[in-house]
Copies of this chain bind each other. A is one copy, B any other.
């Protein structure tokens, strides 16, 4: 049983958003510097963006890109385990994971503040849209929605496309997550930006704020920034990493154009207060949710009722 938090029982999260190039060594050097800056500013749990070690290669389907993958544990987790230990911070490190021949995952490794690999999350919801050809690369995750008791907080890592699915947020919250972390790589198609750009970004922010509200949990999105691909094509990653509180209020938000480090201190008592004020978890009707494991309720399953007669004594 978890103890009731008292005000002042806090943890500090740091989000690192950055532009990436083709050269992995340069991406890692930049990530190292931004992690150090976040730690300097007091971050205890630092999360990098999705596939931060490379450019966003899913813009096309090219089997040679599988060469970018590595095992977990592997070079990336070894490198960042050492950094986590040295800085005394928790690191959430996205990795293009090679699990076995022909089995690759879009993964986030969780390294505790002593450098221990606590485990990994494998992206479960895999998108496939023009310039986001992820189904070509990533086998859907099979680890469910794990949460990790890190030194500073109990965190639920999820990845990008997962952020649109209330099921993922709910299952992470039910497993005790205090903070949902969404390393992301979402951007505009340059041709759509002028017309739909603001609406798309607003929808993205809104649905995640909704998860915070519905579950009474802190939510952080860590999003890639900058343009990748040909100038008039490719993707404009929209940055704007953010943290919101369990009432859905945005606490801090990153740049839309530049590398950025966002530092937010989260008060664990806000979770308890929010859930006492709006006790949704008390009232979930778990007896009637089985349809959520269906693809579509073809027969309009739940209704309408067959007769208009009252079934009581009326």
Contact = CB atoms under 8 A, between A and B. Distances in A.
Interface of A: 70-74, 98-101, 103, 110, 116-121, 124-127, 129, 140, 142-149, 154, 161, 164-167, 169-171, 174-176, 199, 202-203, 206-207, 209-211, 213-214, 247-249, 277-281, 283-297, 300-305, 308-314
Contact of A297 (B98, B101, B176): B176
A295 B303 contact: no
Count of chain copies? 2
Given A164-B214, A303-B147, A286 B295 contact: yes
Nearest to A291: B171
Given A147-B300, A305-B146, A312-B99, A284 B167 contact: yes
B100 A313 contact: yes
A207 B214 contact: yes
B295 A292 contact: no
30 contacts: A71-B312, A73-B308, A74-B310, A99-B310, A99-B314, A126-B283, A140-B285, A143-B303, A144-B288, A144-B291, A145-B288, A147-B304, A148-B303, A149-B304, A164-B213, A165-B283, A166-B167, A166-B170, A167-B170, A171-B297, A174-B297, A175-B303, A203-B247, A206-B210, A210-B214, A281-B295, A281-B296, A286-B293, A287-B293, A290-B293
